[in-house]
Structure 1
């Protein structure tokens, strides 16, 4: 028996399989815990905030996502792509990260200047007082900056597949948020308190992640101008699409906030809390699959095999998620509260669109993690054309209609990114990357 175990342990295929089993088990277990805690926190917010306050909370969190995308502009993707080439060199990886942080600081300031006035207008449009609007903005800023830093700090540990420490930190952050919410929202059921409670624990998390990152990347390195040039090249290709996704990615909330009622905003926000499984697998995908695919040798056959296996896995996963929502739609809506129990069809349609969007976005990041970026003129033209075509044939005056629009545009995005990924793999022998 010992001889058999010894042979298995020394077998490269077995060792590789066992390595991935451990990674998926650690990350999966931690993320189930994180998402479960996050779901409880979300339900607390939905149930305890009045409808008016939850609508403001939804708008603020939507804008936080927009601000984060604008401030990143493709920087983290460029750092991941460049870091995947030098991940074993601590000094070079430190230079790449230092360059990414320098660029991100500049982008963050521009993002704040653009997004905050829009947020204040939307909040005031939905009857928030000027005092409340300012408090919400001030509460949002810490969450914004800590989120940006955390994304870059995680790159070095992810490239080295050191996921266990990161998952422990994420569990700690989730628990801290739940405790802060529980202590504050029962007494002060207002938007800015809920936002502040969610953002503050990330400050502690970033300090811990920085220590882990310093093991693999020399944090004392200065910026590298050549790295900056390569990262900015990625940014130039990705930023136009990032700006587009700031609008299209949150199209549901924008359309409802402009043309719908405050109650409609609250409903869209409440349903948007439900795709917990997608968040779980998004984290798993970003932590395990993207770094692995980024480091895959540039051999056409190998890259194509890995790409097709990943895509097949995403499709199977998506079918399982949608099937689960169809079976348990009643209990899921009951958890949200009595004001949302009549949204069964909206829930199912929303989940179908969210799942297709998840697969399309994953396909997009599979390309960008290897430095493959579709011409933004092509991608944005196709995306805008999809929205125009969708709006012309779908009634977007209702929440259900907006969810159908999301399905339509997500299918177009999926086809586009799949086609581009296959194209780049087919031409990989001529690719300098």
Structure 2
């Protein structure tokens, strides 16, 4: 039945969130585009590899834990004490995982940077900045989940937007004077530290930072994210396999081009933010199988339509897209549609994953490893990855494999799952 008041509530909430996140993501996009123009190709290649390593380490430091906090926390939002103890329980896992991520980071760095002529000093400084950035991200990510649990769009905007503006200003000034990858990474770290302080101040209204761990919550989190570890570890590395392979077999120019086209994926930043803020907690509270299926189908249908429009535009008006990237990258007409398609399909695959974990359906994710490893081995054997086009073609093939498996798991869950009762109402 149509509920006018509830529709108005969600419309206002989403409008407020999209407005704040839209401005935040636009600011981040401007920062990324500014770097494309300020950094020489060689330095932008190093910056791209550093961001890939930071992204991989951040995934390893999480392993689905934040999703578990949001899924379980959505049912505890009326109990501040219990929610605080859930966050404290998750924090213990997070520090252990973060330490493992940093060790892996130091192991992988020589393989990704060894053949491109960067100095030991540059690489060592990059490693130090990435390590510090990971620890700050751990704090921001875990405490920031409470804003999504409570649908607090104001807090999301008031912590993300100032940090984005600061990042743009500091990056622009510092990289104009010193066009180096390490300078850009240091500017990002500085903005993360400021954001961490803002998140801590606003999160205090929801959680008590001094709350002790709860063994029951620790076990619940363990049951939630342990089944996700194989697939999450896989994606921590395989999700960036194209950059890894290009860094081994390709040139610095190819690395920079892959990183530049990847910047266009930031256009999906607003929708990506909705994934955690709206999709997961909202669908986690839906108590009816029929309602879940209906709303999931509407969501996915709208996203496929949006994806089709974007991919078509990359064929019809490619120069509009390439104008965004700047003169160093205006000859990537062949690579552009594949890059847009890979980003959109990967995004939709991420939404299907969120729909699964919203109802605690974490089993079956290991099938993704088998499917995508098969795709990867076949692709490398038949085609190889030495150019920008081949890198994005591999990304597209793997995104399609992920989407296919998650759709099958989503259909299976919709048919077989017995318990649909959440703590709150949808």
Question: Which residue does 1:416 correspond to in 2?
Answer: 405
Question: Which residue does 1:107 correspond to in 2?
Answer: 97
- Between the aligned partners of 2:419 and 2:59, the Cα distance in structure 1 is 31
1:84 aligns with 2:92: no
- Do 1:142 and 1:200's aligned partners in 2 also have CA atoms closer than 8 Å? no
- Do 1:268 and 1:399's aligned partners in 2 also have CA atoms closer than 8 Å? yes
- Between the aligned partners of 1:426 and 1:218, the Cα distance in structure 2 is 40
Measured against aligned partners, the alpha-carbon deviations of 1:262-304 in whole angstroms (never above 9, x if no partner) come to 111111111111122212210122212221112222x221222
Question: Which residue does 1:300 correspond to in 2?
Answer: 289
Aligned length, in residue pairs: 422
Question: Which residue does 1:39 correspond to in 2?
Answer: 29
Question: Which residue does 2:228 correspond to in 1?
Answer: 238
- Between the aligned partners of 1:274 and 1:430, the Cα distance in structure 2 is 40
Question: Which residue does 1:138 correspond to in 2?
Answer: 128
Q: Select the residue among 330, 334, 358 that pairs with 1:369.
A: 358
Measured against aligned partners, the alpha-carbon deviations of 1:312-349 in whole angstroms (never above 9, x if no partner) come to 22212222332344444213213322221110120111
Offset of residue 236 of structure 1:
1.9
- Do 2:242 and 2:385's aligned partners in 1 also have CA atoms closer than 8 Å? no
Indicate the RMSD between aligned Cα atoms, in angstroms: 1.9
- Do 1:394 and 1:405's aligned partners in 2 also have CA atoms closer than 8 Å? no
Offset of residue 307 of structure 1:
1.9
Question: Which residue does 1:152 correspond to in 2?
Answer: 142
What does 1:345-364 correspond to in 2, within 5 Å? 345-364=334-353
Question: Which residue does 2:182 correspond to in 1?
Answer: 192
Question: Which residue does 1:388 correspond to in 2?
Answer: 377
Offset of residue 187 of structure 1:
1.1
1:177 aligns with 2:167: yes
What does 1:7-86 correspond to in 2, within 5 Å? 13-86=3-76
Measured against aligned partners, the alpha-carbon deviations of 1:152-185 in whole angstroms (never above 9, x if no partner) come to 1122121111112211221111100011112211
SS state at 2:264 partner: coil
- Between the aligned partners of 2:306 and 2:326, the Cα distance in structure 1 is 28
Offset of residue 393 of structure 1:
4.3
Question: Which residue does 1:272 correspond to in 2?
Answer: 262
1:323 aligns with 2:289: no
Question: Which residue does 2:209 correspond to in 1?
Answer: 219
- Do 1:139 and 1:193's aligned partners in 2 also have CA atoms closer than 8 Å? no
Q: Select the residue among 86, 96, 106 that pairs with 1:116.
A: 106
Give the structure-1-normalised TM-score.
0.92
Offset of residue 49 of structure 1:
1.1
- Do 2:352 and 2:407's aligned partners in 1 also have CA atoms closer than 8 Å? yes
1:328–1:196 distance in 2 versus 1, CA, 3 Å: farther
1:25–1:327 distance in 2 versus 1, CA, 3 Å: farther
Question: Which residue does 1:406 correspond to in 2?
Answer: 395
Offset of residue 395 of structure 1:
4.5
1:93 aligns with 2:83: yes
- Between the aligned partners of 1:386 and 1:234, the Cα distance in structure 2 is 28
SS state at 1:271 partner: helix
Measured against aligned partners, the alpha-carbon deviations of 1:250-271 in whole angstroms (never above 9, x if no partner) come to 1221111111111111111111
- Do 1:58 and 1:266's aligned partners in 2 also have CA atoms closer than 8 Å? yes
SS state at 2:3 partner: helix
Question: Which residue does 2:277 correspond to in 1?
Answer: 287
Offset of residue 428 of structure 1:
2.3
Structure 2: where are the runs of 5+ without partners? Answer: none
1:149–1:137 distance in 2 versus 1, CA, 3 Å: same
1:324–1:421 distance in 2 versus 1, CA, 3 Å: same
- Between the aligned partners of 1:90 and 1:12, the Cα distance in structure 2 is 32
Measured against aligned partners, the alpha-carbon deviations of 1:198-257 in whole angstroms (never above 9, x if no partner) come to 121122222222232222223321111121112122232111111111222112211111
Offset of residue 430 of structure 1:
5.3
